[in-house]
C-alpha cells in the first residue's frame, strides 16, 4: 500500500435523480488522501447530494467508494473513519454537553474524550448546558470539538459556518487547520463563502447542474488562470487572446484567461491570480467573455444571500 495516490473518495458515473430532477449527472471523481477540497457550486448544483452520497445518507446509481467502502451499505462501519458537520445545527436541542461527550465516547471507538474536553475548555460552553441554551456559534464550536476529538480519516463539512459571524468563522477554520489537519486526513468543504477558505484549500472543485465543471489543485489554478486588468488602449489586443470571462471593476476591464502565457499578457496591463470566487463566476457564466461582470457578480451575491 502506498501512501501517495491512495484515493479517499472515488466515484465513477455517480448519478442521482429526484423524480425528474437530476441532482448528480454521472460524476467521476477521485479525491486523494491528505487533501483539503473545496466544493463550490450554486444552490441546487448537487453539492449536498454528492456529500450525502459520500456519507451514506442517500442512495445513488453508479460506483462510489469512500475509504474503500460502499457508503450506502456500510455506513455504520464507514462512520468510524468519517466525520461530518452539516449545513445547519443538527445537534438535538435537548442534549446536554456532558451527555454529548458521554454518548460519542460510548459509541465511537476513536473518540478521545480528554481532547474534546480540552477544546471545550477554550470556549464558554459549560458541561451542564443543553444545546438549546447555546448560541449558534457555540453549537458549532461544540460540534467541532466533538468532531476534532475523533481520529477520523475523512471530515466532510457542508456549509459548516453558515450563519456564524466572522469571528466564529475565522476561529473555526483556524482550529481546523492548526489542531486537526494533518497529511493523513482528508477534508471536504462545501461552502458559498469561498473567499474565506480559499487559503486553506489544496484543491477546488466546481459543480453545476449535477456536473463537475472544474476540478484542479490550487497550484494548477495559479499556473493556469490569470487575471488581467487591461489598459483601455490594449483592450482589443487582449480580447483577441480569447479571455474566458470579462468584467468591469473600478472603471477598468478585467479579463480572465485560461492557459495563456503570462509573458504575453504582461505587456497589456496588470496581472494577478484570480480569486476562487472570480474564477467560479467566470467558469459558470453561460457565455464566456460576453456577460457584463456586474450582473454575474450580483447573481453570485444573490445566491450567497439566499443561502443565509
Partner 1 sequence: MNTQSDAMPESFDAQRVAPAVPSPTRPLYWSVRRELWEYRSIYIAPLAVAGVALFSFTISIIAGIWERPLRFDPGTPQKSFDMAAGLLMLTGIIVSAFYCVDALHGERRDRSILFWKSLPVSDITTVLSKASIPLVILPLLTFAITIAVQWMMLLVSSVVVLVSGQSVAMLWTNLSFFQMSLLLLYHLLTAHALWPAPIYCWLLLVSGWARRAPFLWAVLPLVVIAGVENLAFHTWHFAALVGGRFIGDAPTISSTGPDMFPTNPMTHITPGHFLSSPGLWIGLAVAAAFLAAAVRLRRYQGPI
Question: What are the residues binding partner 1 (CB under 8 A)?
Answer: 3, 52, 55-59, 72, 75-84, 86, 88-96, 99, 102-104, 106-110, 143, 151, 153, 183-184
Nearer to partner 1 (CB atom), residue 106 or residue 251: 106
58 C-beta neighbours (distance < 10 Å), count:
18
- Is residue 49 within a helix (H) or strand (E), and if so which, with residue range? helix 47-54
Shortest reach from residue 132's CB to partner 1, in Å: 10
Output the CA–CA distances (angstroms, integers) from residue 84 to 90, 208, 257, 306, 308, in the order listed: 10, 23, 36, 23, 20
Nearer to partner 1 (CB atom), residue 47 or residue 108: 108
Shortest reach from residue 234's CB to partner 1, in Å: 47
DSSP assignment string, 90-110: -S-TT-BHHHHHHHHHHH-TT
Nearer to partner 1 (CB atom), residue 36 or residue 194: 36
Q: At 6, is the secondary structure helix, strand, or coil?
A: coil
d(CA 232, CA 251): 10
> Which DSSP state fits 111?
B
Tell me if 60 sits within 8 A of 72, measured CB to CB: yes
Residue whose entry in the numeric block shows the C-alpha cell 491528505: 34
Nearer to partner 1 (CB atom), residue 84 or residue 119: 84
Shortest reach from residue 21's CB to partner 1, in Å: 16
Shortest reach from residue 223's CB to partner 1, in Å: 25
Shortest reach from residue 37's CB to partner 1, in Å: 19
Nearer to partner 1 (CB atom), residue 147 or residue 254: 147
Amino acid at each position: 500500500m502506498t501512501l501517495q495516490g491512495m484515493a479517499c473518495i472515488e466515484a465513477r458515473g455517480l448519478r442521482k435523480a429526484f423524480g425528474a430532477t437530476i441532482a448528480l449527472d454521472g460524476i467521476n471523481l477521485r479525491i486523494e488522501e491528505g487533501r483539503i477540497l473545496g466544493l463550490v457550486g450554486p444552490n441546487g448544483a448537487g453539492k449536498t447530494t454528492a456529500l450525502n452520497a459520500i456519507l451514506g445518507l442517500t442512495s445513488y446509481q453508479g460506483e462510489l467508494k469512500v475509504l474503500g467502502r460502499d457508503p450506502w451499505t456500510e455506513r455504520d462501519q464507514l462512520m468510524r473513519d468519517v466525520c461530518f458537520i452539516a449545513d445547519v445545527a443538527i445537534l438535538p436541542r435537548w442534549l446536554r454537553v456532558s451527555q454529548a461527550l458521554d454518548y460519542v465516547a460510548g459509541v465511537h471507538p476513536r473518540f478521545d474524550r480528554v481532547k474534546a474536553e480540552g477544546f471545550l475548555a477554550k470556549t464558554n460552553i459549560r458541561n451542564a448546558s443543553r444545546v438549546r441554551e447555546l448560541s449558534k456559534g457555540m453549537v458549532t464550536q461544540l460540534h467541532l470539538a466533538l468532531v476534532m476529538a475523533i481520529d477520523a480519516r475523512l471530515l466532510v463539512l457542508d456549509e459548516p459556518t453558515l450563519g456564524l459571524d466572522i469571528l466564529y468563522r475565522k476561529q473555526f477554520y483556524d482550529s481546523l487547520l492548526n489542531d486537526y489537519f494533518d497529511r493523513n486526513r482528508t477534508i471536504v468543504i462545501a461552502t458559498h463563502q469561498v473567499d474565506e477558505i480559499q487559503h486553506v484549500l489544496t484543491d477546488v472543485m466546481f459543480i453545476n447542474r449535477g456536473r463537475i465543471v472544474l476540478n484542479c489543485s490550487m497550484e494548477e489554478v495559479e499556473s493556469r488562470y490569470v487575471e488581467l486588468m487591461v489598459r483601455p488602449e490594449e483592450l482589443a489586443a487582449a480580447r483577441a487572446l480569447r479571455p474566458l470571462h470579462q468584467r468591469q471593476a473600478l472603471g477598468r476591464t478585467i479579463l480572465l484567461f485560461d492557459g495563456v502565457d503570462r509573458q504575453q499578457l504582461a505587456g497589456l496591463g496588470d496581472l494577478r491570480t484570480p480569486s476562487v470566487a472570480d474564477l467560479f463566476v467566470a467558469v459558470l457564466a453561460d457565455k464566456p467573455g460576453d456577460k457584463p461582470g456586474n450582473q454575474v457578480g450580483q447573481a453570485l451575491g444573490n445566491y450567497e444571500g439566499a443561502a443565509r
